[in-house]
Structures are given as structure tokens and as C-alpha cells.
Structure 1
Amino acid sequence: MKGALGLCIAALLLGFNVGCRSQPAAQRDRLQVVVTTGMIADVVQAVSGDRADVRGLMGPGIDPHLYKPTRTDIAFLSQADVVFYNGLLLEGKMTDALIRTANAGKKVVAVTEKIPEEFLLEPDAFAGHHDPHVWMDPTAWIKAVTVIEQTLREVDPGNSTTYEANATELRDNLERLDRYAQQVLESVPSDRRVLVTAHDAFNYFGRRYGYEVMGIQGISTESEAGVLDISRLVELLVSRRIPAVFVESTVSDRNIRALIDGARARGQEVAIGAELYSDAMGAPGTYEGTYIGMIDHNVTAIARALGGTAPERGFSGRLAADAVAGNS
């Protein structure tokens, strides 16, 4: 049963949207767009430019796996012309709210809907569901850009040219980011291309760039890491001489520190390479608070911590000077 629940939710949302148009959008100067995660908000803002008011429900440090909509969120959803969400059950606790919003005649769109099923990962630990963390591969997120562009052009055809031009520029930038990531991540010695993180959010990243990925927790941060999981990862760190592991901005570092203590007891010092952004971006108003900045930070931090070479200020020279510095 491949992601059956996710497909059912998508079918319900699509069914409710057939023939829907948000008439007030044609009567207002700017679209009212509500999105779930920061990664989606950043893309929608880039594509829409000054033609839309974009409201993200989940800020930095918020775990989308656990997020439940507030009354204020429900009010924003009811006033939106368009709602974008990730899909693939990332926002599992928002499912009812999204379906009710679609049932009320709103345009509710999963940005992952155009990603072919054969591209999606379904690791054994994911209990029959697809891995929702597709934004970790910029080439997949390019497909999300296209979904957002097409939706905005459909809802607001008067600004279609603007949306098309902005989306084209963003896709070009993401292709450049992907080339940068390939270059710096290939500089890491092949036997060190092991990414150990707090939870299983980096599978698409690992596949794209040829890294073995180990998450202490599973697909959802609700899962717990067991003693055997930690012992197995300690053995991996020691046997492969992996120099660094990584914490995440939305997940407790408790289990990562248990790994470090376990490796130290075996005679190997392992550093915390840096705090990576997985389910949320950095602070608003910072470079790391954009999708490109988030991926740039992760790529640069991983390469430098594992023995590769990467510019200290990253892909575009905009990373904070201490952004990729690790700690122990």
C-alpha cells in the first residue's frame, strides 16, 4: 500500500477543487496566499513577487510533523485565495483542516503533486509511506516551483507573465545551487561520505549527492531512538572513523550527544559538525531563512565538517561567518 493515505488525502483535495475559482482574487490587487512551511513560503514569495501577500503558518524551529493548526491559522486558511502545502503526509496533523478548507471551495494545492511516484523514496522504516522531505534535493524542489507557478498563473492570469519570469529565474538559481552542492560535496573523501543526523530527513539529499544517510529517529520526529539504534551508529562512527555528526534546528540534540559520548567511550572523538536545517529554515530576514540559504548552509557545513573543501561564506558569499562552524 504505497502511501495510500497520502493519495487518498490528495484525491479528496483535488476533488474539492474541481472547477473552483477564487472570485475575490480578481477583485483585489494582491492574492492572499497561505502556506504551511517556510520552504514553501520562500518559493511562493519569490515567484509571486509583489503580486501576493504570503503568510506562512510554521516559522523557524517549528516541526511540521507535529504542528497543529491554531484558531488563527484556521481563520487565515478561510480567507486565502490559494493554500499551498507540502503533501506526502508531512503536515499530518493538519490534514483535517486542509480538507475542510478545500471543501469550502478554496484552492488547496500540494507542491509535490507533479513529482513522479518513481522518484519518491519509501524506505523500510517509513511504514509504507513516501518520504516527504523532497526539498532536500534542489532538483525535486524545482518541480515544486513549477507547480506554484502554474497555480498562480491559473488563479491570477493577469499577472501570468510576472509569475513565469520569476519562476524561470528561480529555477535557474536552483540549478546553480545544485551544481555548487555537487562540486563541494564531491570534495569529501569517499569513505567519509556518511551523514549522521538527528532524524531521517536527508534521504533525498543523500541519494542526489552520493552520501550514506543515517538518522537516529525515523521519518517523523515523533518516533523514538532505541539503545540498539544508538549502539549501531556508534559502531559505524568508530569503524568508519567519521569525524562529525549533525544536529538539526527542529530536533533535540539529546540523541546526537549520546552518540558522541558513546564514540568517546570507544576512544574516538566525534564533533558536532554544525546545526543543519531540515524541516524548517533559519530566522526570517537572514540568508539562512531562505530556501537557497538553507541548502547552501547545509551543503557547506557538511562538506567542511567531513573533510571536504567549501568556501566559508558558501555558494553566494552570503553565509554568516560562523554559520557552518561546529561545536563539541
Structure 2
Amino acid sequence: MRFVRRHVLAFAVAALATVSVPAWAEERISVVATTGMIADTARAVGGDLVDVRALMGPGVDPHAYRQTRTDIVAMTRADIVLWHGLYLEAQMEDFFHDLDGKRPVIAVGEAVPEADLLAHEDYEGRFDPHVWMDPDLWTHVVIAVRDALTGIAPEHGEAFAANTEAHLAELQRLGTYSEDALATVPEASRVLVTAHDAFRYFGEAYGFEVLGIQGISTESEAGLNRIAELVDLLVERKIGAVFVESSVSDRNIRALIEGAASRGHSVKVGGELYSDAMGADGSYEGTWIGMIDHNVTTIAGALGGVVAERGMDGRLSAGF
């Protein structure tokens, strides 16, 4: 069955792919990115020289996403395709391997050094893909995007390099804001309970214990035993806030809150976090910088820290 699916995908790629003069020879470079985080980075690095399309918009779960026919057409016509890798787009990997060689297809998330990656809890030999949660790790992805664009349009290399330096300076500033804001959370309160385990790199970077109901992939099942264990933990450690995610159902989080309430312990929703997808298109939270600013400010504020009312630059849509 796996062979048949790969054969069909290969046929679709061969049928749709065109051999022509690259679009960027006469107009902007056509970039297709899988996630919003990669698309936003490509726009920051490419500037006016690129036209970027993201396949997965706000609220879309990349773990379960499958390419549509429209996606296939877009990718086979693009000058370059940027995907995350690290088994994030698990349902699309066969397609990318078939497309590679017909178009530049770059797994930019795999630029993060293996020594900095955390082991995947569900798949032996694989790694946790959620590296965008740590600005320091994301710098590797920014540089990988720069190199990928320079590789297909070297005449614009200086522009890409300048844009990259400016964007890396913003990442450094965001990292400093994150460290300062999260350091104000009392140590006993540095426990982050979320719908799925997307925040391990965040926890490693900022000294938080991270507990997800589901595993790293949203495809994993959250059993009754796991929910019962977390209810016990909420009650015993008097944890007062848990967090929902924009791209994951809140059903299991609600079960935690109800379970704690049945034990006489009140738990609130500390806010909605952006885990596998960014905020609304056109909003500040719809950028990678805004996504992380929102998460950091929401977490710190809900867990007893001191935060700026509307985040790093006062641009968040809601105050905390």
C-alpha cells in the first residue's frame, strides 16, 4: 500500500511539474512553505524579492495535514518549496521526496543541529519538531532559508543577507524579552500544562516543566489514565492554570478542569497559545515574532509573572 501511494504521488508530480525558465528570472521568486512559521521567515528574509504562499493557515494542524490537489499544483509550479521536516508534516513526506529533484525542496527545520534536538517520544530515531518555540533554535532555520533562497537566486544574495541580519536582531530582542518576562514567574508556578506536548523546547529554554495531555504529535491518543494522572498533579501541586491551543481541540483540557473541580480544586484556562500554527493572517500574532510574543506574555501573565500589558512592543491584540 505504501509503494502504491508513493507511485501515485510520483505520477502526480511528474504530470504537473513543468520545465521552464524560473519565475524569478522575470518576477518575484515563487516560494511555497508548508507552515505559517516558515512562510513568515521566508518573507522576512526574501523581502520584496519573494512571493510566499503558506499551505497551512491559522488553526491548521501540520501533524495530520495532507496535501490537496491545489497544493500539489502550487508546489510543482513554485521556484522553491520550503518544508519543516523532523516528521512534522508526517502525512506529506512521501510527496516531498518525490518532488525533490524536480524542484528545490528544502527541509529547513532539519538545519537545527542534532545535538540541540530532543528525542521524539512516540517514534524511535526521530526528534521533536517544535523547534520554533525557542528563538535561539529558530535562528538556524532563518539561516537555512537565507541559504536556500541564495542558492536559487545568487544575484540577490546581498539583499537576503541584509534582511537576515535584521531579522536575527529581532529574534535576539525577542529572546531577551522572553527571558526577562518568564524569569518573573515564581519558580513553583513554572509548570505549563497544554493540550499536546509542543512546548518542550520552550521548557528547556526557560526552565519550565511542560506537561502535555497528548504526546508530541496530535495523532497520539490521550487516554483516561493520562488525564487522571494530570488531574492528580493539578490538585496535589495546586496548579491553577492550564492552556488551550489554537490548532488542537480543547476537549481534553476541559476534562482536566472538570476533573480538578470534582476534587474541589479550581483550575482556569490561562489563555490560548499558538502551538503548531500562528494567529490570524494580517495580525501581529500572524507573524512568528508575534506568535512567540503572545505565547510568552500569555504564559508569564497567567502563571503569576510581571508582563507588559500588550507584549514586547505593545502590539498584541489583547492585554494581559
Q: TM-score, normalised by structure 2?
A: 0.91
From 69, 72, 79, the counterpart of 1:71: 69
Change (3 A) 1:269 1:77: same
Tell me the residue number matched to 2:215.
218
8 Å contact kept, 2:121–2:216: no
Judge which range, 151-160 or 56-65, deviates more.
151-160
From 153, 171, 176, the counterpart of 1:174: 171
Change (3 A) 1:96 1:22: farther
CA distance in 2, matches of 1:192, 1:283: 30
Quick one: which amino acid aligns to residue 264 of structure 1?
A: A
Unaligned runs of 5+ in 1: 1-20
CA distance in 2, matches of 1:126, 1:262: 30
Tell me the residue number matched to 1:209.
206
Tell me the residue number matched to 1:271.
268
3-state SS in 1 of match to 2:242: strand
CA distance in 1, matches of 2:251, 2:237: 22
8 Å contact kept, 1:102–1:108: yes
Say yes or no: does 1:241 pair with 2:238.
yes
Tell me the residue number matched to 1:54.
52
Change (3 A) 1:198 1:26: closer
8 Å contact kept, 1:22–1:81: no
3-state SS in 2 of match to 1:74: helix
CA distance in 2, matches of 1:65, 1:282: 18
From 29, 35, 44, the counterpart of 2:27: 29
CA distance in 2, matches of 1:95, 1:126: 15
Pairwise CA distance, 1:28: 2.1
- Deviation digits for residues 173-230 of structure 1 (CA, Å, limit 9, x no counterpart): 0011011111111111101100000001000000000000000001111111111101
Pairwise CA distance, 1:157: 1.2
Change (3 A) 1:311 1:203: same
Tell me the residue number matched to 2:116.
119
Tell me the residue number matched to 2:11.
none
Pairwise CA distance, 1:67: 0.5
8 Å contact kept, 1:22–1:106: no
1:79-90 to structure 2, matched below 5 A, reads 79-90=77-88
Quick one: which amino acid aligns to residue 303 of structure 2?
A: L
Tell me the residue number matched to 2:134.
137
Pairwise CA distance, 1:124: 3.8
CA distance in 1, matches of 2:122, 2:24: 46
8 Å contact kept, 1:126–1:219: no
Give % identity: 56
Judge which range, 204-213 or 227-236, deviates more.
227-236
Pairwise CA distance, 1:114: 2.2
From 155, 159, 169, the counterpart of 1:158: 155
CA distance in 2, matches of 1:43, 1:87: 15
8 Å contact kept, 1:39–1:280: yes
Quick one: which amino acid aligns to residue 275 of structure 2?
A: S
3-state SS in 2 of match to 1:113: helix
From 71, 91, 107, the counterpart of 1:93: 91
From 292, 296, 305, the counterpart of 1:308: 305
Unaligned runs of 5+ in 2: 1-18
Structure 1 residue runs of 4 or more that deviate by more than 3 Å after TM superposition:
123-128
Tell me the residue number matched to 2:226.
229
CA RMSD of aligned residues (A): 1.4
CA distance in 1, matches of 2:41, 2:195: 26
Pairwise CA distance, 1:113: 2.7
CA distance in 2, matches of 1:192, 1:123: 26
CA distance in 2, matches of 1:124, 1:96: 22
Change (3 A) 1:72 1:230: same
CA distance in 1, matches of 2:205, 2:198: 13
8 Å contact kept, 2:44–2:163: yes
CA distance in 1, matches of 2:301, 2:98: 46
8 Å contact kept, 1:126–1:218: no
